[in-house]
Amino acid sequence: MKINKLYRLFTLASLMLFCFCNVAIAQTEGVEVTATVVDEQGNPISGVDVYSPNGGKASSDVNGQFKIKLNDDQSVVIQKKGYESVIVAMSDLLGNITMEKSLFLASEDDEIKMGVATKDRRNIIGAVSSINTQDRLTYDNTQFVRNYINGLMLGVRGSDNVRGIGDAVFVIDGVIGRDPNILNMEEVEQITVLKDANSIALYGSQGRNGVIVINTKRGKANKKEINVNIRSGISTPISLPNYLGSVPYMQLFNEARINDGLDAFYDSALIQEFRTSSNSYKYPDLDLYSTEYVQPFVSSTNVLTEFSGGNDKNQYYVNVGWTRNEDWVNINDDINAGTNRFNVRGNLDFKINDWISSSLDGIAIISTDKSSRANLLSAATTLRPNTYSPFLPLDLIDTSDPTVAGQLQAANTFNGMLLGSTQQFGADAPIALAIAGGYRNTVFRSTQFNNTINFDLDRITKGLSAKTYVSFDFYDSYNLSINNQFKTYEPTWEGDRITSLGVFGEDIKDQTENVSTNGFISRFGLYGLINYETTFAKNHSLNTTLLGFYNSQRQNDVIQTDVDAHLGFQMTYDYKKKLFFDFTGTYTNSIKLPEGNRGGLSPTSGIAYIISEEPFLKNSKFIDYLKLKASGGIIKSDQGIDGYYLYDVNYSSGNNINWADGNSNRRQNITQGENLDLTFEERIDLNIGLETYVMNSLWLEFNYFKSELDKQVGFLNDQYPSFYDNFRPYNNFDKNLYTGFEIGMNFNKTYEDFSISLGANVLYSQTERAKRSEVFAEDYLQTQGREISTIFGLVDQGFYAEADFDTDGNLNAGLPEPQFGNVQPGDIKYQDQNGDDMIDNDDRIAIGQASSPWTYGVNLNLKYKRFNFFVLATGQTGAEGNKLNNSFNEYYSVDGNDKYSEVVLGRWTPATASTATYPRLSSQTNQNNFRTSTFWLYDNSYLNINRAQLTYEFQEAFCNQLGIEDFSINLSGTNLFEIGENKDIRQLRIGTTPLSRVYTLGLRMSF
């Protein structure tokens, strides 16, 4: 087996070496040709890059002249930023070659790939943000796609929420719904965010919340490249949960019982033994977050290679990668092996003939995550420190009893220990399960295929073209496991010796690897389009597109196939490339709606005016470029309709009806009423913005937006009496409103050996529940008119004091009576909002909002000679967090037999009544204290240094000595620093992988 693996590795290495040698050899072949590059006025152009099909490269000198070696009938690609690229055959490399200067923001570098269409940035009317990765990856070498969105893309909150409206749909290489997490940044060429109705319209119903378009790299004619990116790093936990040890836990649990009027559970002598005894097996103090069980740091390795090239007829791009992440659990390293991920991508473009070209993409990904069957990080949140000792040393066991001696003779030992347990856990003790229970290997596989065929139909009408696109995606996840059975032992102690053992389970090794599926998803996509582009009367241009789109997704064990289909039409007119008008509309079909309402028209339009082209600004020394733009429209969508057949009447089987003659029948109950008028939800959108470039160094962009999500589907609560609930149909009624603005800037300046690049973006998004059908006893409970993420809860007034109760323990007269159970001194006191002398759910008011209206990002890149320093910071303000949400609940809401965390040290006692930060302890379920209230809210504002990187790029002479084109090394850090009042709460992860600070050393090479 090992020989076969080595053979395959050797074969792969040989092929790579063969390819590399071919590149090196090819560069020496051919005949030297000389030519001169000039502009439209005949002036020589220096710094022009010239590429030959055999991998050769040349640059023009100050006289515009270059020399390059070519074979017969070969063509060269000639490129320079700001000019239109040209392809010239060898026979035409005579005299001067003229390059045309591009319009500002209309060169090849300014092409924005919007999935269905590609436009120059200059020609875009809608709210679109884009980032190219080619020049950034050297100094910002993260490989997580979402990291290139968060903080860098204008108008995005986090990594996928566009303008606070909701999660955008990802479109990867033209395929809607693909997962960006399976990509590495090395294979990504461009990321584009489409935010307004006009720019997302061609994506139909699925584009309702915005679209994030990701395009992967493709080979370029005459550019042969081999790139290698190697990164290795360590991760250290920023914060770990802090649970109390055995002695403080037992003391405080006794206190909790006494608070409840019960006897202490743990004898003081026993507590003293736990405090003073050296026998940690008899008196355990178990901490699953200690370095004995959780590693102080874990390592990761990432290796990525790229191969690309081609000629004017065929181009290729290949990406091969491997990523390994070590597991945090520090037990049984062979089983807790961590994750391994392998990826292969191949993108091929080729010409079939003079008027048909095609592309074919194939992607394969496989990842494995091998771990024990026990989730120790989850068990660490509930396993109390004094419960049991997970290991029992053999030298502490008294074998004078033949029964015990026989048990030991038959036992499997681990490092001279038996696996401990208790009656509570039996044979399922978590640490024993982690060591002896076998393993679980979660495997994820994805294969994706795309095919595009492009038709140049100039022979029919000049400017006419067509395109077809077909994609197949398959996602498969399953578990491989060995489920061993094993014995665990519960000791009986006499003094410091174990005199007898209780045995749980049997030692049975699983001989078969078990397979269970986590799900299988298949996706099929298809679209075709016809495009016609023409210029008439010299200054007028028209570009029209007709699109047909279909996408389906099937999932195992799910009967209904998800289907999205629409027709689209786009017409864009421009006058002198400075005045633009666009109309884009789609006709969407939905099978979620009743017959007769399954089609809906989504019209959008936009206008843009490059006012800097007018005479009164054209010669301005301050304003280089200024564009005003506005767009609006309606997007009809079914993405918010959660389910099928919501328009139909539904029945369920009820109770039996027994008749006097002995016969019976089953009652049929209506659970949902009929509504054949159910229709699409609508996004009604307005965007007004401007883009400007000033002082030849500063880019500014501003957009004001207003979006309504109207006709949302739900039940009407104020239209029917309560006894009619089961008969209610779904209706289009609710409406949400999103208003705000976004501001982005990029400043770039170069001073001889030093350059600076500074970017910043700010998003303000205010939301409102503009219309709701609701019935509440109190007006202040109404959600209509409030922020969408409003948190409703009780207002705390501190803790009940001893003076609030009479001698019998009853609340004093005049104090509102809580309806959540009996209260005592030290419980949380709430405000009676409606004056009914009771504390209940009708006393909840709006106490905060979960989503931040303000989010921002700042990035800075400083370059001095061959050094680069990059830093990215993100932040938000205006939101509140709740300690009692699902992530924190087990840590902060401590009652009953819960494990005690450090937060209970601030508990209320009569002695700490004036300084307490936590309610009294209780050994019973406490319904009063752990309710959403102002007591548990915290300010969720922060500023985070997401990542920073220091890079050094070696000189060309040194690279030439190594036989490579470019070589750089980098040192980076992630999650480096956070400023915020409550950063300790924000950074804590409970029962799962800890939030980590990551340090990475990397190198990049280009051949």
d(CA 114, CA 529): 14
Q: What is the DSSP letter of 179?
A: -
Residue 259 CB burial class (10 angstroms; 0-12, 13-18, ≥19): buried
pLDDT average, residue stretch 643-663: 86
314-349 pLDDT, tens digit per residue, is: 999 999 999 999 999 988 888 888 999 999 999 999
CB atoms within 10 A of CB 723: 7
- What pLDDT does residue 6 have? 39
Contact 389, 429 (CB under 8 A): no
In b/e form, how buried is each residue of 19-49, taking b as 16+ CB within 10 angstroms?
beeebeebeeebeebebbbbbeeeebbeebb
Exposed, middle or buried by CB within 10 Å (0-12, 13-18, 19+), for 991? middle
Contact call for residues 606 and 629 (beta carbons, < 8 A): yes
Say how far apart CA 743 and CA 12 lie, in whole Å: 49
Residue-wise burial string across 117-154, b where 16 or more C-beta atoms lie within 10 A, e elsewhere: bebbbbbbbbbbbbbbbeebbbbbbbbbbbbbbbbbbb
Q: Token digits for 706?
A: 């207003």
For the segment 494-537, what is each residue's pLDDT rounded down to a tens digit? 999 999 999 999 999 998 999 999 999 999 999 999 999 999 99
For 925-940, the three-class secondary structure string (H helix, E strand, C coil) is CCCCCCCCEHHHEEEC
Q: In the sheet that 169-172 helps form, which strands lie side by side, from edge to edge? A: 128-132, 188-194, 211-216, 169-172, 175-176
Smallest CA-to-CA distance from 347 within 483, 472, 448 is with 448
Does the pLDDT at position 10 exceed 60?
A: no
Q: How far is CA 239 from CA 295, 881, 900, in A?
A: 13, 18, 17
CB atoms within 10 A of CB 74: 21
64 within 8 A of 42, measured Cβ to Cβ? no
First-to-last C-alpha distance (Å) of the chain: 34
Q: What average pLDDT score do residues 384-413 get?
A: 95
Average pLDDT of the chain is 93
Q: Could you give the percent of the chain with pLDDT greater than 70?
A: 97
* Residues ≥6 apart with Cβ < 8 Å to 393: 281, 416, 417
CA–centroid distance for 338 within its chain: 20
Paired tokens of 161: 């929420």
663-683 per-position pLDDT tens digit:
888 888 888 899 999 999 999
**pLDDT at 595 > cutoff 60:** yes
Which residue intervals of 886-969 are DSSP H helices? 889-892, 956-962
Residue 882 pairs in a beta bridge with: 937
Q: Which pLDDT band holds residue 889 (cuts at 50, 70, 90)?
A: confident
Phi, psi of 467 (to 5 degrees): -150, 140
Question: Is residue 725's pLDDT more than 90?
Answer: no
Pick from 592, 551, 544: nearest CA to 568: 544
pLDDT of residue 26: 44
pLDDT band at 29 (very low <50, low <70, confident <90, very high): low
- Distance (Å) of CA 537 to CA 162, 574, 681: 40, 12, 42
pLDDT at 73: 76
Q: What is the pLDDT of residue 25?
A: 41
Element (H, E) at 66: strand 65-70
Reported residue count of the chain is 1007
For the stretch 236-278, pLDDT in tens is 999 999 999 999 999 999 999 999 999 999 999 999 999 999 9
Residue 473: which pLDDT band, with cuts at 50, 70 and 90?
Answer: very high
Task: Report pLDDT for 17.
Answer: 41
pLDDT in tens, 729-760: 999 999 999 999 999 999 999 999 999 999 99
- Give just the sign of the alpha carbon dihedral 6, 7, 8, 14: positive
**Superfamily classification of domain 2-98:** Immunoglobulins (2.60.40.10)
789-815 pLDDT per residue, tens: 999 999 999 999 999 999 999 999 999
pLDDT in tens, 532-579: 999 999 999 999 999 999 999 999 988 999 999 999 999 999 999 999
Among 149, 152, 147, 215, residue whose Cα is nearest residue 178 = 215
Identify whether the C-beta of residue 446 lies closer than 8 Å to the C-beta of residue 365: yes
Judge contact between 498 and 392, C-beta under 8 A: yes
Residue type present at position 537: A
Among residues 836, 830, 831, the alpha carbon closest in space to that of 927 is found at 830
AA letter at 979: I
**pLDDT tier, 697 (very low <50, low <70, confident <90, very high otherwise):** very high
Amino acid sitting at position 188: V
- The half-sphere exposure of 687 on its side-chain side, counting CA atoms within 13 A, is 32
Look at residue 24 and tell me whether its pLDDT is greater than 80.
no
Nearest CA-CA partner of 713 in 553, 596, 593, 563: 593
Q: How far, in Å, CA of 387 to CA of 421, rounded?
A: 9
pLDDT at 480 over 70: yes
Hey, what are 261's tokens?
């009027």
Q: Read off the tokens for 119.
A: 């436009």
| pLDDT band, residue 7 (cuts 50/70/90) | very low
* R_g (Cα) of the chain, nearest Å: 34
H or E, element range at 610: strand 599-610
246's enclosing H/E stretch is helix 246-259
Q: If pLDDT is split at 50, 70 and 90, which confidence band does 659 have? A: confident
Q: Which residue has the tokens 């490059």?
A: 610
Strands 31-38 and 96-98: parallel
**Distance (Å, whole) CA 1005 – CA 228:** 5
Residue labelled with tokens 């300046």: 749
Token pair recorded at residue 674 = 């009929």
Return d(Cα 783, Cα 484) in angstroms, integer.
53
The CA distance from 680 to 711, in Å, is 7
Which letter does DSSP use for residue 102 in this model? Answer: P
Q: Taking the CB of residue 221, how many other CB atoms lie within 10 A of it? A: 19
pLDDT of residue 391: 96
User: For residues 245 and 899, is the Cβ–Cβ distance under 8 A?
Assistant: no
DSSP character string of 942-955? EEEEEEEEEEEE--
Question: Buried b / exposed e across 808-835, counting CB within 10 Å, b at 16+?
Answer: eeebeeebbebebeebbbbbbbbebbbe
pLDDT score, position 663: 82
Please report the pLDDT score of residue 652 as a whole number: 85
CA distance 895 to 918: 12
* Closest to 324 measured CA to CA, from 367, 295, 364: 367
Structure tokens belonging to residue 284: 């355990």
